[in-house]
Amino acid sequence: MMGSPARGQEEGEAPQQAPPPRSHDWRSPGFVSVVGGRLYDPACVPLVSIGSNVPNLPFRRGISETLAWARATRMRWIRVFATGHGLAADRSPATASAAIAALRAVVDTVQAYDATVPPEEALYVMIVLTDYYPIGVPGDGHAYDHPNFRDVPVLPAPWYRAGVRAFDFDQEHGYGVARSLPNYEVFYKPWVQEIVSAFAQSPVLIGWQLGNELKARNSPRNGISAAEAYGWYLEFTKDMVDTIRAIDTNHAIFMGAQYMAELVDWNYRPGGPPSPDLLPTYQNLVQQALDACGTYCWNVWGLTEYDANPFPVDDAMMFRRAGVTSVITEFGYTREIRGDSQQLFSGDRATAVRSGVPAPWVDIDGVPHEHEWSALELFRAAGVSGLVPWGTPAPGPDADPDIDVGRGVTGTPDEARLTAAWADVGSALEAANRAAGPASDCLDYDSRTGNVLPQNLNRPDA
């Protein structure tokens, strides 16, 4: 017996086919690119690398010292925040113009440095456009929306909701109702447009990150479900990627979540290993993120990983299979417990970077492993394109706003050994990049046209 036509398909018609997946690659010749799920430098040599987290570098002294320290540690790029991170109000930028001036000091110093070194030694800059935590973009409001964290206000879910430019939010922990908070369209969007316009042609940018650890969390108190909040987040993503692309067709765009399970409050590892019954939901959530494209698609999935957390590793493996690369923009091991969600890492942090953590775990495919992966294994087995250890400014008094003695590198008792471990990782990656040389699929592609570059059609290796 013949089967019934699929819903929406009349008898005798050809079966409907799903639309082809959208490409998350991006290449503008002369700039850092993302092609085939891998980062490349402007010469199309792989830029699989480590970086340095210095969020407040634009707002303090020590730029040249940090660049020198980064290259000595074999890092290839630095991550800074347009808003600063955890700065006092008198130190953070009050306007987009002030942020641009501070960022320009970093960008110009990097560009001057790059002019003195060969291309394979060049440094790049990632600019994070806002922060989930205060102070953030001038004018934006934060609220207490987490049932466990009493003293950490964040951008609440309605901030991501387009079309509702002001909202009230009933806060947790007795903080009362926050009135007339602005959504992202009021302050963040014009802030992004102004900052992106200032640096759209800069060859030293590795790309833009939409924000640091952004999340649209569900809020039962306010009648907001996890699905609704995630929907707002994805629509926000589409709008802001298209907003950036209307100004900047050169640079990669990085997502700003910690990892999918945290973003959507979905624990599919309740007993440690991934639960087969829960994985389909996780996979669907990943697919929704992959499909969050307007006219353009975002390019790189951003991750945060501390204390050998398996959730970001799951994401990296899943997105790699879809042809999308990930960068762990914050990475580290915690020396002490500092909050309800912080795990205690009591081992040797330098050895953990080199060899992994001696604890068994099960990956997203149900495959058991005897140890949590080392830094190099995260590149080779999980397929990430970048790792950025947290708290890595150049040592010295100017570095104070960017030091984290609990989870960072600089200013810690094991600083020297950690720095040496990261330098070895960076050296190994740089050697592999140089051995690989320019990639033809990168050289032949210009995403602004979606075509193979005409001048490369007759290249011998094409």
pLDDT tens readout for residues 46-67: 999 999 999 999 999 999 999 9
pLDDT tens readout for residues 72-118: 999 999 999 999 998 888 889 999 999 999 999 999 999 999 999 99
Specify the residue for token string 């909701």: 161
State both tokens at 379.
Answer: 């590149």
Question: Do the strands 361-362 and 368-369 form a parallel or antiparallel pair, or are they unpaired?
Answer: antiparallel
pLDDT tens readout for residues 385-412: 999 999 999 999 999 999 999 899 999 9
- Give, for 233, the enclosing helix (H) or strand (E): helix 226-245
Least confident of 54-58, 180-184, 332-336, 418-422: 332-336
Cα three-residue angle 145-130-333, rounded to 5 degrees: 75
Please tell me the distance from the alpha carbon of residue 400 to that of residue 349, in angstroms, as a whole number.
Answer: 21
The number of CA neighbours under 13 Å toward the Cβ of 343 is: 11
pLDDT tens readout for residues 313-369: 999 999 999 999 999 999 999 886 555 455 567 679 999 999 999 999 999 999 999
Cα three-residue angle 309-228-283, rounded to 5 degrees: 45
Annotated domain spans of the chain: 33-456
Pick the CATH number of 33-456 from 3.40.50.300, 3.20.20.80, 3.40.50.1100, 2.40.30.10: 3.20.20.80
Three-state secondary-structure class, residue 399: helix
Three-state secondary-structure class, residue 136: coil
In the chain, the percentage of residues whose pLDDT exceeds 90 is: 85
* Contact between residue 337 and residue 344 where contact means Cβ atoms under 8 Å apart: yes
- Give, for 14, the enclosing helix (H) or strand (E): none
- Give, for 150, the enclosing helix (H) or strand (E): none
State both tokens at 16.
Answer: 């409907």
pTM comes to: 0.92
